[in-house]
Copies of this chain bind each other. A is one copy, B any other.
Amino acid sequence: MPTVTFLPGYRKVTVPEGATLLDAARAAGLSMNVVCGGEGKCGKCQVYVKDGTVSFDREKYRRFFSEEEIARGVCLACRAYVVGDVQVEVPAGSLIEEQKILVEIPGMQEIPLNPAVRKYEVRLEPPSLEDTTPDLGRLLEGIERQGGPPPNRVYAPLGVLCSLPQVLRRSGWHVTATVALVPGGYRLSSVDEGDTTGRLYGAAVDLGTTTIVAYIRSLVDGRILATASNYNRQISCGEDILSRVNFSRRSGLARLQQLAAESINEALTTAADAAGIDREEILEVMIAGNTVMTHLLLGIDPAYMIAEPYIPVVRRMLSTAAGRIGIAAHTNAGVYTFPAVSNFIGGDIIADILAAGMAEREEATLMVDIGTNFEAVLGNSDWMLSCAGAAGPALEGGEVLFGMRANPGAIERVRIDPDTLAPSVSTINGLRPRGICGSGLIDLLAELFRACVIDRTGGINLELDHPRIRKGQYYPEYVVAWKEETSIGKEIVITENDIKSLIMSKAAIHAACMTLLDAAGLAPGDISRVCFSGAFGNYLNKENAVTIGLIPEIPPECIENIGNGAITGANIALVDRRRRKELDGLARRITYIELNADPSFMDRYTSSCFLPHTDIALFPHVQQTLEACRAKQGVRSWQA
């Protein structure tokens, strides 16, 4: 079989003739950037053949390449077939980069501890001719004496029974039993030699489409011992959910199941190593993921979720043994997945709701989780409404000329001097700018609007005579950073086209929020707070978010960033069995509003495609501020 060598790392792999370079890269453990899932559609998996040849129809994919790239031997890895030994260079841009993953959440230590799994140290009388109680009965009686559940309520899995006689005898009848509360009773999850009551761990996992975050905590005292995060290895099978589902239809669900488990295992291993514990000591795992991710992890076919009428197989909380789905914890550890409301309001959003404490308050909260898609939930302890939609990739830096993910070098904060129109920017890790990420784009939009560089439709005011404002090749543009300031050898600009994409994205979110409010018969003033969940919300300038009309106007002090709500919610459900038990009921209580089926949503969307909105009266405070700005600036008129 031919050998494929990947440069610059000289990773070698042997693949059958006819395999694609993408197959080979996967086999070599390289995470290639395959937005389309390997269908030759996104042009992101570019590689250069350095030695040897591949079979690749360059003419067919010509549109993805510059002349220079073609001259250097560019190919699409997903469409180049191995015909013999070959050396291939993979440019950094074709690999998935290290991203800023939101891991730490303030206040996480204070969750009340009431775990579903407990340990009991028992010292047993050895059996004798006078007391021939069997091993299991003897142990269960000991557990009951230590305050555990009565023997007839405890189910003992075969795996535990198979090792029980040896463990009891080797330990001199001094063991620690782990007992988990499960529906209908208790399960004897594990029996260890000696006293291990101090070592009882649980893991909370945020299973994101892009990233995995894991927390390991002691279930004895609730302490967080370690956190870890890494990419979801499924990215090599497609960046977004749709391409993952398509990959699973094409190449089988099993691979995606395995990659999901491996991704979680990577995080668990890193965290366990950092915590100085053995993964085998993790006795419960609580996983929050969206509906498709949850299906994939459990090996349940998500195919029917992506075509009308968009039906998931299961919505309820599921529990299974870690060993059953290849999770690297104790083989009998209970793995619990959050329930979902619908395809689009998944377990991650239920975890957000838990993190936001929405169901514990009488006052209404509006919770918004923004990514490529957005989800919004409005409600209180009595009722909850939810909806979801596509925000488009603009807010995450996609489809914006110099947009990028929240990677090092991304501009994440922008201020524009209203007099000089000069921007001051800060970047992730303080590097020279490479592009602009979501929070930077929101800032830019608000600042350009306040400085009257753009009007309410997002149009750039070319009449302003300023070196940063110019006509551009295709669209009017504003120069955010000059060539010599950046690390990419060219200027970073934002175009009018970029701005319009951003406005469409924010409009969808605003219209969704208004649809929920209207369905509940509430006005923005009736909401006690807005919670942003997720990385995007976390780095967002709250005032700017209101200024551009991303959300209805409420005072900035009522806006909270709850951070990574999915991992916070997973932590809560991990340590507090009472809260976990309520989740199915909570999910069932949430009404899902299908925006596409709501005729008023389109009207609201159209009205929201302005800064901040067609009806500026909906944003009285923004109006006031803008008027003050304009009055001060004087020189530039505010175009109504």
Chain B CB within 8 A of A232 CB = no
**Which residue on chain B has the smallest CB distance to residue A291?**
B134
Chain B CB within 8 A of A309 CB = yes
Please name the 9 residue pairs, one residue from A and one from B, whose CB atoms are nearest each other, closest first: A184-B184, A136-B314, A134-B315, A135-B313, A134-B312, A127-B311, A129-B309, A127-B309, A184-B185
Chain B CB within 8 A of A597 CB = yes
- Measured CB to CB, the closest approach of chain B to A387, in angstroms, equals 13
- Measured CB to CB, the closest approach of chain B to A238, in angstroms, equals 20
Residues of A128-175 at the interface with B, using a CB-CB cut-off of 8 Å, are: 128-129, 131-137, 152, 155-156, 158, 161-162, 164-166, 169
Q: Are A301 and B162 in contact (CB under 8 A)?
A: yes
Chain B CB within 8 A of A515 CB = no
Q: Are B152 and A584 in contact (CB under 8 A)?
A: yes
Q: Are B342 and A156 in contact (CB under 8 A)?
A: no
- A314 contacts which chain B residues (CB < 8 A)? 134-137, 156, 161
Chain B CB within 8 A of A61 CB = no
Chain B CB within 8 A of A303 CB = yes
Q: Are B165 and A135 in contact (CB under 8 A)?
A: no
Chain B CB within 8 A of A109 CB = no
A136-B315 contact given A158-B298, A298-B161, A300-B158, CB 8 Å threshold: yes
Chain B CB within 8 A of A299 CB = yes
Interface size class of A (residues with CB under 8 A): 35 or more
Residues of A279-308 at the interface with B, using a CB-CB cut-off of 8 Å, are: 298-301, 303-304, 308
- A158 contacts which chain B residues (CB < 8 A)? 298-300, 318, 320, 324-325
Chain B CB within 8 A of A470 CB = no
Known: A129-B594, A135-B313. 15 other contacts (CB 8 A): A132-B592, A134-B311, A134-B313, A135-B304, A135-B312, A137-B316, A155-B183, A158-B318, A158-B320, A158-B325, A164-B313, A165-B300, A183-B184, A183-B185, A184-B184
Q: How far is the CA of A267 from the CA of B316 in the complex (A)?
A: 40
Chain B CB within 8 A of A482 CB = no
* 23 pairs of residues in contact across A and B, judged by CB atoms under 8 Å: A127-B309, A128-B309, A132-B343, A133-B311, A134-B313, A135-B304, A135-B312, A135-B314, A136-B314, A136-B315, A136-B316, A137-B315, A156-B318, A158-B318, A158-B324, A158-B325, A161-B300, A165-B301, A165-B311, A165-B313, A166-B301, A169-B304, A183-B184
- Measured CB to CB, the closest approach of chain B to A337, in angstroms, equals 11
Q: Which A positions have Cβ atoms within 8 angstroms of B?
A: 127-129, 131-137, 152, 155-156, 158, 161-162, 164-166, 169, 182-185, 298-301, 303-304, 308-316, 318, 320, 324-325, 342-343, 584, 592, 594, 597
**Which residue on chain B has the smallest CB distance to residue A320?**
B158
- Measured CB to CB, the closest approach of chain B to A474, in angstroms, equals 39
- A183 contacts which chain B residues (CB < 8 A)? 155, 184-185
- A185 contacts which chain B residues (CB < 8 A)? 183-184
- A162 contacts which chain B residues (CB < 8 A)? 299-301
Q: Are B132 and A310 in contact (CB under 8 A)?
A: yes
**Which residue on chain B has the smallest CB distance to residue A169?**
B304
Q: How far is the CA of A80 from the CA of B586 in the complex (A)?
A: 70
- Measured CB to CB, the closest approach of chain B to A39, in angstroms, equals 23
- A312 contacts which chain B residues (CB < 8 A)? 134-135
**Which residue on chain B has the smallest CB distance to residue A596?**
B129
Q: How far is the CA of A597 from the CA of B166 in the complex (A)?
A: 27
- A298 contacts which chain B residues (CB < 8 A)? 158, 161
- A136 contacts which chain B residues (CB < 8 A)? 313-316
Q: How far is the CA of A304 from the CA of B299 in the complex (A)?
A: 40
Q: How far is the CA of A324 from the CA of B321 in the complex (A)?
A: 14
- A132 contacts which chain B residues (CB < 8 A)? 309-311, 342-343, 592
Q: How far is the CA of A86 from the CA of B580 in the complex (A)?
A: 67
- A166 contacts which chain B residues (CB < 8 A)? 301
Q: Which of B161, B304, B315, B320 contacts A165 (CB 8 A)?
A: B304
Q: How far is the CA of A304 from the CA of B164 in the complex (A)?
A: 11
Q: How far is the CA of A164 from the CA of B301 in the complex (A)?
A: 9
- A597 contacts which chain B residues (CB < 8 A)? 129
- A133 contacts which chain B residues (CB < 8 A)? 311
Q: How far is the CA of A318 from the CA of B161 in the complex (A)?
A: 10
- Measured CB to CB, the closest approach of chain B to A532, in angstroms, equals 27
- A128 contacts which chain B residues (CB < 8 A)? 309
- A315 contacts which chain B residues (CB < 8 A)? 134, 136-137
- A184 contacts which chain B residues (CB < 8 A)? 182-185
- A313 contacts which chain B residues (CB < 8 A)? 134-136, 161, 164-165
